[in-house]
Structure 1
């Protein structure tokens, strides 16, 4: 299963910045937009409702991670918003992941349109950090695969992972299990704080299910042209 449109990460501080950015796209362009913590904490549920009302799909990336009951209640609230995707941390464990799905379904009155993605290891994490800071002595790929299999067993829609692990996750999980990959850059763009990155065509070849693209589009001189370039590279591979 492949999400045909790149997901644009709206890493902006407020709705005014979002509106200025979206004004650079054709008015009838149906986009898939990621709302992360910065924008959500600034504007709350209203920005999600506004984007959906304007015909866009929303990936609400809040990375919930707490005891199962708390996450279940949070997901119940998010289930009422009508988002397409949302996230939790796989490291919260199987019980928490199952509770998250229960809460999301309760909030959406059983509508299974929305999917939960589990965060495996952030694309800012490398093997050194895994060993020295998380005290995990397994190879990074093994940690990611383990989390992916736990997420699938808990009934989640997929994972957020680096494109470097997407093919291995595909081989270790069901065919419809999503592998959504951030850390996507166009050739020549700066890597910034991401450590495990790929271009859109490379990610497609590595079996990503969907791309999350931020600065390569949002900081481009012509964001719509950059979006079209990413889309072409993604669809044609």
Structure 2
């Protein structure tokens, strides 16, 4: 597996990818989201964007299985019934949009990656809140779900719009962690299917993604253990600042090459 991964990149890049994934797993375990954002922002600094997307796919699937498993099957099924419209449109859009990834020029791809990371992270860092009244919920489910799925299919990350959506619904913290896990989990299966079809995840890139399962798992276990001890507000702000810096660098590469 290591030999297959090193066929795509030098050893230092593989080691750096392991480090990025370990950090992303820790953040995911601690706050419940941001793993794809951190991985795609970090890996794209030194890897081809398509290889970076391939690398995050299997760790995303694993991380969300672990997150949902902390709650239980009955609660997960209840969440699916409650949020089925949002989940459905996210999954469908991921599969559709993923088919167009390979046709996007590299510099445009960096902008597509970087701009949403910066904008959505700034929104969360500023503490901007929205409220969705009950009579607008169905429209919001389809609209925000379509945006999240399109972003997920193109960049591998649909977390920030989902977080903002749940906050706008005034979802309690514990329920929010469960809903995020279910949405991300089913979405990650769609991402896997979409990129098997698009060719981004193939016999060459799949071993690299599989190799990153180990640091993703280890990082999440540490994150789970420390999540109750950390100041969640401070940690979340620090994470968002890092994402803004990483996203800004992607935008710079997209504009300047």
Band the TM-score falls in, shorter-chain normalisation:
under 0.3
Q: Which protein has the bigger strand share?
A: 1
**Relative contact order higher in (CA < 8 Å, ≥ 6 apart):** 2
The TM-score, its normalising length taken from structure 2, stands at: 0.26
